[in-house]
Amino acid sequence: MRSLSPLFLFAAVAVRAEGDAADAGGAPVALQDVVVSAAPFERDQSQLVSATNVLSGQPLALKMKPTLGETLSDLPGISSTYFGPGASRPVIRGLGEDRIRILENGIGTLDASVISPDHAVSLDPLLIDRVEVIRGPATLLYGGNAIGGVVNVVDSRIYHRTLDRPFTARGQARFSSVDDGTAYTALAEGAQNGLSWHVDGYRHRTEDMHIPGYAWTDALRATDPSGAVSGYLPNSSTDTDGGAIGASYAGTRGFVGASFSGHNAVYGVPPAPNSDEGAVLIDLRQRRLDLQGELSDPLPGFKTAKLKAGISHYRHQELDNGVPGTTFRNRGYESRLELVQEPLERLEGAVGFQTSRSNFSVAGDEAFLPPSITSNYGVFAFEEYKAKPVTYQLGARLDRQTLRLTDASGTERNGNGVSVSGGAVWTISEGWLLTGSLSRSERQPNVQELFANGPHTGTDAFEIGSPSLSSERSIAAEVAVRRTAGLLTGELSVYSHRFTGYIYPDATGVDDPVHGLQIYRYLQTDVAFYGAELQLVLHLHQSREHNLDLKGSADFVHAEIRESGEPLPRIPPRRATLGLEYRHEGWTAGVEVQGVDRARRLAPGETPTDSYALLNANVAYEFERANVSYEIFVRGDNLTDELARNHVSFLKDIAPLPGRNVSVGVTLAY
């Protein structure tokens, strides 16, 4: 890929410059964010075997987009499902759906986003404090559904300690040109006598999104002239609102807290070719109760006990010209208890228990799934042993899943899963680390893969499950080199992920005679994923007043069926990004170019996507006046108005990525 060449040249020049300036030193400026999702105790990114990303503060504010998937899609190894502006879920190293766990403060979102790409994740990024991404298997702590990775969204609705100030408030307003979008958030919190409280609310509205050129590809318009719409993406408006209240009490031995939140979203789904449906809108509603607590010295030999639980009522209706068609419901809960051991010389660790239950049903025109109750139970242990200069991290987990259909058949399916992992972080020298890991993971098939039987317009398919499917097993290996201090900082990681019994919907080439949709049947086969990720920062100038960094990243993933060598569908093409960032006192300014290669390896029947390059820029200013802090930013995305299509998306042929967009925002905090 031509767009990768300048980045690897940059890496070579930077490495040479690092050697020439070995005595220049430099403060650690990368891979130092604290991560709470990858281990039962907090660790810096550099000290974890797993590859991680952390977004918070101004970097998160500048990357913020209407959906979680699009907010994270520029990070190395991460893409998105992109089902239009209203629905987008992260894809990590080519793996998505029920192989990626999305968490709110360590507990699952308890929605229906894994069932179909047109189902939005039931949270809005506007009030997120930080996002932690674990790239690669995280089954040890979060079960078989984290076989590809974890995205943990962290907010401040339940405080773990008493707030330092009796009252604080924050408000934000954002405006975007590409969709005439407006977004507003407000937050207030305070504390007194050990009791902390929190209230927040948000509202986000957009009109149909502007795009360069035609929504449909040339090839598709040649077969169906009705798709000759240009300049905007039909039926792509969104309307989202919600809020939460929370409180917690912190004492000398720990804390206990709760929050109640509501999330509402109405968003359009771009019309598919040959569809007999009108302007379909998704009307999503979730009500959720979260509980958290921590206790010091709970039992002999244990330092702390941590409890988290979430209970959710979720409803999702598909409206055809305002008339409800299909309704998805999920009533569920998830809880986890972790007991962190007292440190024993060089040994630290934890044991834990996790349980969840999902009562899921689909009713209406597209009831392609039977009603079901899925229960999961898991026990795990994690140990870390420090034998300088090497830190070893080992663990194991046992899961049991029970899936019972609640229709007349009463069919029940039980399965066990075993996951083990081991890895090491070797401090080679000051600022240089080498990591390696090997893990074995197992995932049980879900109700869709086992028992689907009906039309599913979200994927433009008639889906048929296979009740005989066995568990999906994988062995993953990864090696990474990290540099955390000096002129050059960053990470290069190389990974391999081999699946036995990988579950996927196979195109039969036969159409359903009633609905005219191609029939897809869930099958199993052995597949292999491998790839690499690079992220580097060359610190061109560092001083108390001025900082200038040259940043680069690149990633690729290769996925194929092991026996035939046939490519898997919707695998992200190779990407590379190169940019400059300047910081001076309260000012931050940046410019970057991201190049995405054309899709070179296509699965049978898969349509191609062309290469493209996106030019982005931003400027932000932070200052304080009279105990009020202000942050103002302007961000430009796709400034050259390039026509770009996301190869991972089911809608890539009818819904390109947004055109030129200028976003303006201001945040006030007291």
List C-alpha distances in Å: 214 to 221, 597, 643. 9, 21, 9
Q: How far apart are CA 19 and CA 30, in angstroms?
A: 18
Question: What is residue 28's predicted lDDT score, i.e. its pLDDT?
Answer: 36
Q: Where are the domains of the chain?
A: 2-29+165-669
Beta bridge partners of 10: none
**Is the predicted pLDDT of residue 276 greater than 80, yes or no?**
no
Question: What is residue 14's predicted lDDT score, i.e. its pLDDT?
Answer: 42
**Is the predicted pLDDT of residue 21 greater than 50, yes or no?**
no
Contact predicate 453/464, CB 8 Å: yes
Most confident of 50-54, 272-276, 366-370, 498-502: 498-502
pTM over 0.75: yes
* Cβ neighbours, 10 Å, residue 456: 23
Give SS3 for 126.
Answer: helix
Question: What is residue 6's predicted lDDT score, i.e. its pLDDT?
Answer: 42
Work out the pLDDT band at 322, boundaries 50, 70, 90.
confident
* b/e 119-143 (16+ beta carbons within 10 angstroms → b): bbbbbbbbbbebbbbbbbbbbbbbb
Q: Scan for tokens 């690729």, then name that residue.
A: 556
Q: Give 341 or 24, the one with higher predicted confidence.
A: 341
pLDDT tens per residue, range 610-621? 999 999 999 999
Percent of the chain past pLDDT 90, that is, above it, reads 79
Percent of the chain past pLDDT 70, that is, above it, reads 94
Mean per-residue pLDDT over the chain, rounded: 91
List C-alpha distances in Å: 531 to 132, 182, 494, 496. 21, 39, 6, 7
* Cβ neighbours, 10 Å, residue 513: 8
Most confident of 63-67, 128-132, 573-577, 600-604: 573-577
**Is the predicted pLDDT of residue 340 greater than 70, yes or no?**
yes
**Is the predicted pLDDT of residue 221 greater than 80, yes or no?**
yes
List C-alpha distances in Å: 444 to 71, 353, 453, 459, 504. 29, 18, 19, 22, 13
Question: What is residue 7's predicted lDDT score, i.e. its pLDDT?
Answer: 45
**Is the predicted pLDDT of residue 31 greater than 80, yes or no?**
no
Question: What is residue 278's predicted lDDT score, i.e. its pLDDT?
Answer: 62
Contact predicate 601/591, CB 8 Å: no
Q: How far apart are CA 488 and CA 551, in angstroms?
A: 10
DSSP state of 93: T
Q: How far apart are CA 549 and CA 587, in angstroms?
A: 14
Contact predicate 364/326, CB 8 Å: yes
List C-alpha distances in Å: 535 to 6, 77, 580. 14, 10, 14
Q: Scan for tokens 């009490």, then name that residue.
A: 249
DSSP 177-214: TTTTEEEEEEEEEEEETTEEEEEEEEEEEE-SPEEEEE
Q: How far apart are CA 191 and CA 247, in angstroms?
A: 9
pLDDT tens per residue, range 560-604? 999 999 999 999 999 999 999 999 999 999 999 999 999 989 998
Question: What is residue 5's predicted lDDT score, i.e. its pLDDT?
Answer: 43
pLDDT, average across residues 254-267:
97
Work out the pLDDT band at 32, boundaries 50, 70, 90.
low
* Diameter over CA atoms, the chain: 74
Q: How far apart are CA 588 and CA 535, in angstroms?
A: 20
Question: What is residue 341's predicted lDDT score, i.e. its pLDDT?
Answer: 95
**Is the predicted pLDDT of residue 534 greater than 90, yes or no?**
yes
Per this entry, what is the length of the chain?
670
Query: Which stretch of 4-8, 329-333, 656-660 has the lowest confidence by average pLDDT?
Result: 4-8
Work out the pLDDT band at 42, boundaries 50, 70, 90.
confident
pLDDT tens per residue, range 381-427? 999 999 989 999 999 999 999 999 999 999 999 999 999 999 999 99
Question: What is residue 435's predicted lDDT score, i.e. its pLDDT?
Answer: 97
Q: How far apart are CA 648 and CA 643, in angstroms?
A: 16
pLDDT, average across residues 27-36:
60
Residue spans of beta strands (DSSP E) within 120-194: 130-135, 149-154, 167-176, 181-192
SS (HEC) of 33-85: CEECCCCCCCEEHHHCCCEEEEEEHHHHHHHCCCCHHHHHCCCCCEEECCCCC
Query: Which stretch of 57-61, 173-177, 333-337, 457-461 has the lowest confidence by average pLDDT?
Result: 457-461
Give SS3 for 98.
Answer: helix
**Is the predicted pLDDT of residue 277 greater than 90, yes or no?**
no
Contact predicate 435/482, CB 8 Å: yes
Question: What is residue 13's predicted lDDT score, i.e. its pLDDT?
Answer: 40
Cis amide prior to 389 (ω within 30 degrees): yes
Where does 2-29+165-669 sit in CATH, by number?
A: 2.40.170.20
**Is the predicted pLDDT of residue 19 greater than 70, yes or no?**
no
